[in-house]
Amino acid sequence: MANSVTMLKIKTFADYQNEYKQSVENPEAFWEEKASHFTWRKKWDKVLNWNFKDYDVKWFVNGKLNITENCIDRHLPTKGNETAFVWESNFEDKPNRVITYQQLHDEVCRLANVLKSFGVKKGDRVCIYLPMIPEAVFSMLACARIGAVHSVVFAGFSAASLSSRIQDSDCKVVLTSDGSYRGDKTINLKSVVDEALETCASVTNVLVYKHTGASVNILSGRDIWWHDVVPQSSDRYEAETMDSEDMLFILYTSGSTGKPKGVVHTCGGYMVYTCYSFLNVFQYNPGDIYWCTADVGWITGHSYITYGPLLAGATSVIFEGVPTFPDAGRFWKVVDKHKVTHFYTAPTAIRALEAAGLNYVSPYNLSSLKVLGSVGEPINEEAWHWYNKNIGKEKCPIVDTWWQTETGGILISPLAGITKTKPSFATLPLPGVQPLLVDEKGNEITGNNVEGNLCIKFPWPSIIRTTFGDHERCKQTYFSTYNNLYFTGDGCKRDENGYYRITGRVDDVMNVSGHRIGTAEVESAINMHADVVESAVVGYPHDIKGQGIYAYVIVPSTQKNHDILRKEIIAEVNKVIGPIAKPDKIQIVSGLPKTRSGKIMRRILRKVAEGEISNLGDTSTLLDPAVVEEIVKTRL
């Protein structure tokens, strides 16, 4: 059965149409056949149990497996010496690291043994707070190998954010490094972990990888250097037997209210779907070199750096740096150097590199490229055309992949070279995915050339299973807005040919440089500043970031200079969340537009932030219309 996952690949548009039809008419038979291409220790008793009302979804019921056996062991007989990953450092003159499938196996097993020696058991949670180095992938897989649940936290989040994530899921161990490099910056990650752990009683051990050589505190009994224990450990570890529905990982993501929630994915369905979607969307062939520029701290890194490509036995580039270091040609230089065939990035990076100019593109030979991908936010037409013309040389299909942390894998996207593309359209659903558009009341909007809120009416194998520790929240957030539907939170158009175009969030979630940030989270961080009485945050169109963060802040007659105040507020947000949530604009106001019942009218604040002040709509329900005049007058 080794490598038979490549048989999952659709080859023509007619195949796609046929698979799609089968997947809707008989989803269970469809996914049963797909799942049969993987290595299971015990076959499932039933393909699917589902209920969107009380939200309960189980795929491949009672099936037993270990995902790492499918990511690694099954490839060893044929691909042991082939490259799983090539690592490209932040610094271009640093040598690459090449990790074969056999080496990946050995590293993962060593680390699995170390985790076991820390007393980590099946079901325990392990936090991973690492830069983009191969050890981040080893860590995820080592957890999966022993049946521990990983919770990767993006290494740009602050100590406070890290701490609340560790606490929420009661992590026992943290895997981190002394520091990280991002462009010309060096960050001392260990000190962030130290600060976070002051408020996390559950953590018994911290394993520290030496990467930057920064001096760090080693707390005796708790902190252990990676190089003191990992290389000496056995490179064998018999993978734990997991149930299809055992938790594989938790990944925290922002919503429109409250703290970030821990989205839970489980082993069986996630494995089948990430592999199936990877192979089909990218049309990866043996010998291709795939590069996804995301960070493993986000879902894209989980599904399309770690799991999907490894399940498919692919060769990938892992990149530690940023697109603009040492200059805006870095991505193209790396493509040239490693002869990358599949390149997957975010629109915000494309826009930033477009702005830098073609002088950064032209020195490099990009002829190895076959497929380009986009993810994380709507790609505007201009960026799409620039990408197509200057990077793909009009020869590479662009797969505009729409999906979410909660969906686990790509749901709407062209299949490279198979689906006819259309700029800024994610085009058609993958087999097994049944999208529909609804109006505000939840009535289905049928026909084409229509617009509505995007829902999905049938489960796919990698759908979110729960939000960690709070199933009710999962039910409320995704399955209660509309009866019997999964609600995505996105607005969407369907054109005359049935192609989907995602227009952006319809809730209070912003999408800043492809990162999801809840307005409520930023507001609560701003409100931590002692001088701030109240704040309201909205997104506004931003040339590079897609959306920027606009904050209205009430500060009562302070003596402080407003520029100093703004700097302090930004520092507060950095401290509470991290630099990604830092407001781009802070307008100091004396009041916020509220209804008589005290609700902030965000619609008005959004319009002012967007600069659409000529038509603010109905303001008659406002408690104090004069507030609006002031806000318009002092807008930034």
| The residue to which tokens 């830069």 are assigned | 131
Mark 226-265 with x for binding to ligand WTA (rule: CB under 6 A) and - for no binding: ---------------------------x------------
Cα–Cα distances in Å, from 528 out to 492, 522, 525, 572? Answer: 36, 10, 5, 7
> Which stretches of 267-352 are assigned E, i.e. beta strand?
289-292, 315-319, 342-345
Name the closest residue to ligand WTA (Cβ).
Answer: 405
CA 105 to chain CA mean position, Å: 25
Closer Cβ to ligand WTA, 316 or 374, answer by number: 374
Closer Cβ to ligand WTA, 326 or 504, answer by number: 504
Closer Cβ to ligand WTA, 442 or 504, answer by number: 504
* 414 belongs to the binding site for ligand WTA (CB under 6 A): no
Are the beta carbons of 8 and 279 closer than 8 angstroms?
Answer: yes
**Coil, strand or helix at 279:** helix
Mark 335-374 with x for binding to ligand WTA (rule: CB under 6 A) and - for no binding: ---------------------------------------x
| CA neighbours closer than 13 Å in the CB half-sphere of residue 426 | 26
Residues 521-580 that bind ligand WTA (CB under 6 A): none
Residue in 60, 85, 343, 402 binding ligand WTA, rule: CB under 6 A:
402
Residues 465-494 that bind ligand WTA (CB under 6 A): 488-490
Provide, rounded to whole angstroms, the least separation between the CB of residue 400 and ligand WTA.
5
Provide, rounded to whole angstroms, the least separation between the CB of residue 221 and ligand WTA.
37
* 300 belongs to the binding site for ligand WTA (CB under 6 A): yes
**Coil, strand or helix at 322:** coil
* Region class of 620: left (phi > 0), else alpha (psi between -120 and 50), else beta: alpha
* 405 belongs to the binding site for ligand WTA (CB under 6 A): yes
* 516 belongs to the binding site for ligand WTA (CB under 6 A): yes
* 299 belongs to the binding site for ligand WTA (CB under 6 A): yes
Residues sharing a CB contact under 8 Å with residue 285, sequence separation 6 or more, in sequence order: none
Residues in the chain: 636
Cis peptide before 134 (omega within 30 of 0): no
Residue in 69, 168, 377, 572 binding ligand WTA, rule: CB under 6 A:
377
# of chain residues touching ligand WTA (CB under 6 A): 24
**Coil, strand or helix at 76:** helix
Stretch that binds ligand WTA, among 92-100, 198-206, 276-284, 500-508 (CB under 6 A): 500-508
**Coil, strand or helix at 259:** coil
Mark 65-104 with x for binding to ligand WTA (rule: CB under 6 A) and - for no binding: ----------------------------------------
Token pair in block for residue 182: 């991002």
Closer Cβ to ligand WTA, 63 or 397, answer by number: 397
Residue in 103, 205, 233, 404 binding ligand WTA, rule: CB under 6 A:
404
Residue in 113, 266, 401, 467 binding ligand WTA, rule: CB under 6 A:
401
Residue in 65, 127, 159, 426 binding ligand WTA, rule: CB under 6 A:
426
Instruction: Give the distance between the most distant pair of CA atoms in the chain.
Output: 74
Question: Any idea of the CA torsion for 216, 222, 223, 227, to the nearest 10 degrees?
Answer: 160
Provide, rounded to whole angstroms, the least separation between the CB of residue 414 and ligand WTA.
11
How far is it, in rounded angstroms, from Cα 95 to Cα 172? 34
Buried/exposed code over 240-274 (b: 16+ C-beta within 10 A; e: otherwise): bebbbbbbbbbbbbbbbbebbbbbbbbbbbbbbbb
Are the beta carbons of 551 and 521 closer than 8 angstroms?
Answer: no
> At residue 36, what is the residue type?
S
Binding site for ligand WTA (CB under 6 A): 253, 298-300, 374-378, 400-405, 426, 488-490, 502, 504-505, 511, 516
